[in-house]
Amino acid sequence: MNITERIKQDIRGKFRENVSLKDYNTWKVGGCAQYLYEPYDLEDLKSFLNITKKEKITFIGNGSNVLIRDKGVEGYVVCLKDSLNKYYKNNKKQYTFEAGLSCMKIAQITAKNNLTGLEFLCGIPGSLGGALRMNAGCNNGSIWENVLNVTIINKEGALIKKYKKDFDISYRNVNLENGNFFISAKFDLVENGLNNSEDIIKKFLKDRRANQPTGLPSCGSVFKNPKDNYAASLIESLGLKSHRIGGAYISEKHANFIITEKNSKSDDVEDLISHIQKKVFEKMNILLETEVKFIGKK
């Protein structure tokens, strides 16, 4: 039996060939996954990885920090967006969330129980797995701050428990061995004595609507902020707001956001990213590093 036959026989999750990834990323661009798999549950994912252990695997969550290239992605794309979204609470008020849960949901669940520390997640349109990988953060909060431990799955489908101290956690990055992926994380949170966490969430969302082009296709901030500076200020100071290439343009509201129009190509976005980097380097001698991850063939 070949791999595809084994998958079709043994796997309960959704498995398809040659699937457009446009609906699997928030820029709504890019080509097809050679194979796309959405696990039924953790056991299913373990079996899947065991079958595909020698193949190229790419994990995505909600696709809110990736640029999927137009030529598509070779091998197997595993998408956790609509699966692995259970959570558990123990009697010490510690929560374990699976990696496919949305950041918004996690913020709501913990806020409803008036536990503080994860309210900031309300504005991040990603999954927990992606947030851990990216060390997502905003409003003075960041995802790893309250992590006790995480469960990782390796390329063979074996689970490994790791503690926060096992990672080098830095600005929008965490060191994760190739072929390892986040499956869940356990958080230690404290009761919010002074403020109501649900009110904090409302305020964060209101601020976001005021300052960011919410509701339009983007991946949030494209570039990391350089030391002691803001990528958005640098881009804006060069008069690049509204600059466009094809169907991709720089937001008028927030210069670190690139917006795509319907039928925009991933290449338009990538060319615009290169254009910004070139201009900022020429005029300011600063190399803007991308926060967004590029996935697929160039």
Ligand X SMILES: Cc1cc2nc3c(=O)[nH]c(=O)nc-3n(C[C@H](O)[C@H](O)[C@H](O)COP(=O)(O)OP(=O)(O)OC[C@H]3O[C@@H](n4cnc5c(N)ncnc54)[C@H](O)[C@@H]3O)c2cc1C
241 φ, ψ to 5°? -55, 140
Do 122 and 139 touch, CB atoms closer than 8 A?
no
- Binding part of the chain for ligand X, among 14-22, 58-66, 193-201, 277-285 by CB under 6 A, reads 58-66
Residue whose token pair is 């990988």:
133
Contacts with ligand X, 184-223, as mask; x by CB under 6 A: ----------------------------------xxx---
Is residue 68 at the binding interface for ligand X, with CB under 6 A as the rule? Answer: no
- Binding part of the chain for ligand X, among 47-55, 128-136, 242-250, 261-269 by CB under 6 A, reads 128-136
Q: Under the phi-then-psi rule, with left for phi > 0, alpha for psi from -120 to 50, and beta for the rest, what region is 215?
A: left
Q: Is 133 a catalytic residue?
A: no
Is residue 137 at the binding interface for ligand X, with CB under 6 A as the rule? Answer: yes
- Radius of gyration, CA atoms only, the chain: 20
CA-based nearest residue to 54, from 156, 154, 152, 153: 156
Is residue 125 at the binding interface for ligand X, with CB under 6 A as the rule? Answer: yes
Report, in Å, the least distance between residue 129 CB and ligand X. Answer: 2
Cα 168-172-173 angle, rounded to 5 deg: 35
How far is the C-alpha of 65 from the C-alpha of 253, rounded, in Å?
19
Q: Is 69 a catalytic residue?
A: no
Q: Please, which residue, 77 or 234, has the CB nearer to ligand X?
A: 77
Beta bridge partners of 149: 163, 186
Among 13, 126, 141, 296, binds ligand X (CB under 6 A): 126
Is residue 151 at the binding interface for ligand X, with CB under 6 A as the rule? Answer: no
How far is the C-alpha of 105 from the C-alpha of 88, rounded, in Å?
13
Q: Please, which residue, 30 or 61, has the CB nearer to ligand X?
A: 61
| Side-chain-facing half-sphere of 295: CA atoms under 13 Å | 32
Among 131, 232, 259, 269, binds ligand X (CB under 6 A): 131
Q: Please, which residue, 29 or 80, has the CB nearer to ligand X?
A: 80
Pairing of strands 258-260, 147-153: unpaired
Among 46, 55, 113, 138, binds ligand X (CB under 6 A): 138
Pairing of strands 32-38, 73-79: parallel
The tokens describing 33, both together, are 């996954």
Is residue 133 at the binding interface for ligand X, with CB under 6 A as the rule? Answer: yes
Residues 27-56 that bind ligand X (CB under 6 A): none
Is residue 11 at the binding interface for ligand X, with CB under 6 A as the rule? Answer: no
Residues labelled as active-site residues: 172, 221, 291
User: Which chain residues interact with ligand X by CB under 6 A?
Assistant: 26, 58-66, 80, 99, 123-127, 129-131, 133-134, 136-138, 181-182, 218-220, 293
